[in-house]
């Protein structure tokens, strides 16, 4: 029996580490991050250090005890009343020297990274390919859009597969809005690591620009009994959506190394793990579309990506992302057949028919407080659209109504539409071909 997993179903959270052994990180690396954090943030108690490292208090205490045993930390011998009468700790001279030496090797401090192999396990627990989107969920997420009746029938299986999608068709017909609707239909939450570790290198992943926290109040990272029960080295987030357009270049898909901090930042597709990567306006980038798709061949076919460190060492990371390509070009114009085979679903997004166009026009007018006028609409349909071969686009009602609103505001008259206002708005929607005398 094929069980459907609804997007509202909770994702299994990453279990919090109970001991240092659970961390699966080198002890010297963890010790150095502790020392750097205490040096940079002036933390002086186990509670403060645990909060800064995003670790349980007991695990942090283990780490502090190791540093004390190596004479890198010492107890201050005083209890701080403002910190719940906790014992205070400070760096020894040897500890300060070690912290400075460690900072010279890497400026990274704060949240302890998650080993890549541990993160792989969490990716499986929250895989985008385990989501089954229903027609009702997709319809609800796109209820504000007027779409052809068969479009959702094509989109639904494509989204539920978690595989790549190519949406193509004339501009201004909602390809970007549909992409955002797909994201909204997913609806559930996942866990994004603040940073991951591979081969001793730290790669920051959580990005507040890309990732939206699902909760305003985070879990208490240092309590003896954790209320929410997940590893606070992760942030509980909505499934991420990365949207790129004409600015996308191939080097944006590689690890970004900061030579000053000596740390790495995850590329866009790694930040989008468990969510959606939208390549909007494909064909407008400086890179040829064929080159961009060639970069995705291994990830799309094998569900893994290959990244490289500064040393040249290459390693695999999971690729668990729904990739949506959106273009105004016909696919045969920008791809060869081998590339098209790698994209699993090709969906054409056409402009609306006249009936759907009028529905969109009426919805926009109502939303913006513009009363409809039958004479103006007849003028629009019978006089203006024949001049462009009756080709309708989804963006046009918004454009025309906004233009008429601006004219009414300027003239100081109530919002209204008329054949004259339609003509004035229409003139701003298109530029006539003409010879400009210089």
Give the pLDDT means over successive 10-residue stretches in the chain (438 positions): 41 93 96 96 92 96 96 81 73 96 95 97 92 83 78 85 86 78 82 96 95 66 57 93 88 93 94 91 87 85 93 94 89 85 86 91 94 96 94 92 96 95 91 66
Answer for the pair 214, 171: CB distance below 8 angstroms, yes or no. no
Distance CA(314)–CA(50), nearest Å, equals 33
Contacts of 392 (CB under 8 A, 6+ apart): 351, 352, 353, 354, 356, 357, 385
Q: Report helix, strand or coil for 87.
A: strand
Answer for the pair 306, 270: CB distance below 8 angstroms, yes or no. no
Quote the pTM value.
0.81
Question: For residue 230, what are its two tokens?
Answer: 């997940």
pLDDT recorded at residue 82: 56
Distance CA(290)–CA(164), nearest Å, equals 15
Adjacent-strand bridge partners of 345: 165
Measured over the CA atoms of residue 135, residue 138, residue 143 and residue 146, the dihedral's sign is negative
pLDDT recorded at residue 219: 46
pLDDT recorded at residue 294: 85
pLDDT recorded at residue 436: 65
Answer for the pair 300, 341: CB distance below 8 angstroms, yes or no. no
């Amino acid at each position: 029996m094929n069980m459907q997993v609804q997007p509202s179903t909770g994702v299994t959270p990453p279990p919090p580490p109970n001991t240092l052994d659970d961390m699966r990180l080198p002890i010297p690396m963890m010790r150095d991050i502790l020392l750097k954090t205490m040096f940079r943030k002036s933390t002086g108690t186990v509670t403060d250090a645990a909060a800064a490292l995003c670790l349980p208090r007991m695990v942090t205490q283990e780490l502090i005890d190791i540093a004390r045993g190596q004479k890198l930390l010492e107890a201050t011998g005083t209890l701080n009343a403002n910190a719940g009468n906790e014992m205070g700790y400070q760096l020894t001279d040897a500890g300060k020297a070690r912290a400075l030496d460690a900072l010279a090797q890497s400026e990274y401090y704060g949240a302890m990274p998650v080993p890549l192999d541990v993160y792989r396990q969490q990716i499986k627990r929250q895989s985008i390919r385990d989501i089954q989107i229903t027609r009702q969920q997709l319809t609800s997420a796109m209820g504000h859009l007027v779409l052809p009746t068969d479009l959702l029938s094509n989109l639904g299986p494509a989204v539920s597969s978690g595989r790549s999608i190519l949406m193509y068709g004339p501009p201004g017909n909602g390809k970007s809005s549909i992409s955002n609707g797909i994201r909204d239909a997913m609806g559930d939450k996942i866990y994004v690591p603040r940073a991951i570790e591979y081969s001793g290198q730290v790669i920051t992943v959580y990005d507040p620009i890309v990732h939206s926290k699902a909760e305003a109040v985070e879990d208490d990272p240092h309590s003896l009994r954790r209320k929410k029960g997940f590893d606070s080295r992760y942030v509980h987030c909505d499934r991420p959506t990365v949207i790129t357009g004409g600015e996308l270049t191939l080097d944006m898909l590689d690890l970004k190394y900061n030579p000053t901090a000596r740390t790495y930042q995850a590329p866009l597709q790694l930040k989008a793990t468990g969510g959606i990567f939208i390549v909007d306006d494909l064909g407008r980038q400086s890179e040829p579309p064929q080159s961009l798709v060639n970069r995705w061949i291994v990830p799309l076919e094998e569900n893994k990506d290959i990244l490289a460190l500064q040393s040249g060492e290459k390693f695999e990371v999971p690729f668990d992302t729904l990739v949506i390509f959106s273009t105004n070009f016909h696919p045969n114009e920008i791809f060869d057949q081998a590339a098209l085979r790698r994209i699993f679903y090709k969906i054409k997004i056409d402009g609306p028919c006249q009936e759907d166009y009028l529905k969109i026009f009426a919805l926009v007018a109502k939303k913006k407080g513009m009363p409809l006028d039958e004479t103006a609409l007849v003028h629009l349909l019978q006089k203006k659209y024949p001049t462009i071969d009756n080709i309708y686009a989804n963006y046009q009602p918004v454009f025309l109504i906004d233009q008429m609103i601006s004219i009414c505001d300027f003239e100081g008259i109530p919002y209204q539409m008329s054949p004259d206002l339609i003509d004035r708005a229409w003139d701003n929607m298109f530029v006539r071909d003409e010879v400009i005398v210089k």
